[in-house]
Homo-oligomer: A and B are copies of this chain.
Amino acid sequence: MATANRNPEIRTDAVNNRWVIISPARSRRPSDFKSKSQSKSDSNPSSNAQPQCPFCAGNEHQCAPEIFRVPEDSTSDWKVRVIENLYPALSRHPEVKSDHEEYCQANGTAGEVTLGGFGFHDVIIESPVHSVHLSDLSPEGVAVVLLAYKKRIEQLCAVDSISYVQVFKNHGASAGASMSHSHSQILALPVVPPTASTRLDSMKEYHNQTGRCSLCDIHTDKFLIDESTHFISIAPFASTFPFEIWIAIDLGGLLKLTLLKLSLQLNDPPYNFMIHTSPLQMTSSQLPYTHWYIQIVPQLSTIGGFEMGTGCYINPVFPEDAAKILREVEVPKKD
């Protein structure tokens, strides 16, 4: 990487308005970032159906209740299933009350707030086959997963008192996945989380100043990785993590290509992706600056006390270097 003698920089961007330290003195060669763990080996790719895996086709009865499947009209040959999480972080029963409420009323101080933990926590099973990961699917197969997200988000939008929906994927045990069968998750919250409201404020301020959307204004030269007809993947100007990628949302092709490139370049690392949507109660005047995007973060570095303490991240890789490396990955063409 051409960063060895470059000075550190402190950067912020107009989308998130958060500081990040990009520190090349801590940089390594791209090969050093290759993942040591082979997360695919967890999943025993030689076996297509694992008797003990509740997400595999044939084991549907072992799962928490199904919300819907794609395609809907079939009972057996599903491509994607959306189910309830067996261990939900929030309770989907609207009558849920905080056990703490009584205590709080008696003893609570002014600044301590407790809400009952109402919300939804769903799982999207991305394939009926245990050994198939998202980057193995066809672009159309990835599009079906994204359409399932969209449909579930629309259902959750209709629920009163849900304010924000977070779609995310944890790939690999060290990225937080407890099941090796390819899946992603949706959490619907009764509050707008801090990153979403900060992002919205930041994008609004940029729009007020310039009349444009800060996400649409992103440099597409040295930060570009790939582009499809309507969408781009980039290494964001103030990347929080090494090889962090954003995709202005598309339907399948670019997400598949990007995950494949990550896998090829960095030895199939554990990764997380998050879809950054708008809060659900949006006015039409807010639409010009609240585009959705996907943030992909391969797990290549450890979060330490500095990041936990300050909320400010140290990234050893300049995003323009990450973009160049990923732009140039050769993806083998299938016969």
Contact = CB atoms under 8 A, between A and B. Distances in A.
Nearest to A277: B309
A168 B309 contact: yes
Contacts of A22: 117
A4 interface: no
Interface in A210-233: 210, 214, 217-219, 221
Interface residues of A, number: 86
Contact of A111 (B191, B193, B214, B275): B214
Nearest to A197: B311
B175 A304 contact: yes
A194 B311 contact: yes
Contacts of A21: 89-90, 117
Given A87-B26, A193-B19, A112 B237 contact: yes
Given A87-B26, A166-B310, A274 B111 contact: no
B191 A109 contact: no
Interface of A: 6-15, 17-19, 21-23, 25-26, 87-91, 96-100, 107, 109-117, 164, 166, 168-170, 174-177, 185, 187, 189-191, 193-196, 198, 202, 206, 209-210, 214, 217-219, 221, 237-238, 272-276, 295, 297, 302-306, 308-312, 314
A210 to B, nearest CB: 5
A174 B8 contact: no
Query: How many copies of the polypeptide does the oligomer hold?
Result: 2
B10 A114 contact: yes
Given A89-B26, A193-B19, A310-B196, A9 B305 contact: no
A194 B14 contact: no
A310 B190 CA distance: 13
Contacts of A23: 88-90, 117
Contacts of A170: 304-305
Contact of A194 (B18, B114, B305, B306): B18
A102 to B, nearest CB: 12
Nearest to A111: B14
Given A8-B96, A26-B89, A312-B189, A19 B194 contact: yes
25 contacts: A7-B96, A8-B91, A9-B115, A13-B113, A15-B111, A21-B90, A89-B306, A89-B314, A107-B219, A107-B221, A109-B214, A111-B202, A111-B217, A166-B306, A168-B305, A168-B306, A170-B304, A176-B304, A176-B305, A185-B306, A193-B310, A273-B305, A274-B308, A274-B309, A303-B303
A6 B308 CA distance: 28
